[in-house]
A and B are shown apart, each in its own frame.
Chain A
Amino acid sequence: MKIEWKKSFKIAAILCAIAGVSAVLVSLANVVTEPIIATNKATKEKNGLQKVFGSDATYGEKKELSDTKYLLAYYPVTSSLGESRVYSTSGNNAYGTVSLLVGITSGYSLYNLVVMENTESYATTLNENYIVTLINSDKKDEALNEVKCGATYGAKLIRDMVNAAKDHYKEAKA
């Protein structure tokens, strides 16, 4: 069989050219949009932080944590409730990543929780107020009622992350 080299070469060249031009265009767009996405994320974190203990509280410097499984960083907070902390946590399970801001009071109980990111494909029903009352009262059966497709893992992951934050605060104070 005779291969038509010239023709094949031309086809390959055109295909490569189209792919190359597309890649360059997309990269250019990325240069434009990347800083905007980064600022969006920063504002989102700032707004989320304000939501945890309200805007009256004073939020301190971010302190990075490195040697823990779920905890990324914490912010010391002083509010009408006294000294407390907001932990920035992120965890992974079989369905994706969940990132939370967890507010822990000086009595080591969960005060509030803000979902920053939830890439779990199906657990779009995470309800923040519901989780707070749930974890504080520790009623596991009700958690299962609220579960929709795959969110059981999410519920467990969130519980683990909140507990990790509580334990870390306890140890730091002790």
Chain B
Amino acid sequence: MERSELISKVNSVLAEEFEVEESVITPDANIKETLQLDSLSLVDMVALIENTFGVKIVGSDMPKIQTFGILYDYLAERMK
């Protein structure tokens, strides 16, 4: 998957599931704040990513993934 395609897909599935405008999802935006995630809905984001891209975000990696840009990189690295 091309990076631009990956970014587009990530943005659309997250925007749809968490009911935010796609335009608020930018590389530097904080994921939890933008999607208004708490500790429970964070689990839903991890499940959504795994179901959509086949990439499991392990628990120890989660604290490092603060922004959408980092998430794109994380997924791109594991989908090579």
Instruction: State yes or no: do A and B come from one complex.
Output: no
